[in-house]
Amino acid sequence: MQALSGEVMSKHASLQELNFAADELMKASTADQAALIREPLTDINRHWETLHHNIGKKMVRFVIVGTVLRTK
């Protein structure tokens, strides 16, 4: 679980770069063009947040189960 979490977090910098580049593009775009950029970017960010949240929940369960097993 730790390895997966580490891999996912290493991708966070790439996501931040993508968001920065998209923001720069949207600033230089028309409202219609910006909307075409914003929609898929919003989806990507939503998927990222869901993934991050689910990994956090699984890590908590992993720690709890590990703690319970060690105490038995």
Residue 5: burial class (beta carbons within 10 Å; 0-12, 13-18, 19+): middle
Question: 21-65, pLDDT tens digit by residue?
Answer: 999 999 999 999 999 999 999 999 999 999 889 888 888 887 777
pTM over 0.85: no
Check if the beta carbon of residue 66 is closer than 8 Å to that of residue 1. Answer: no
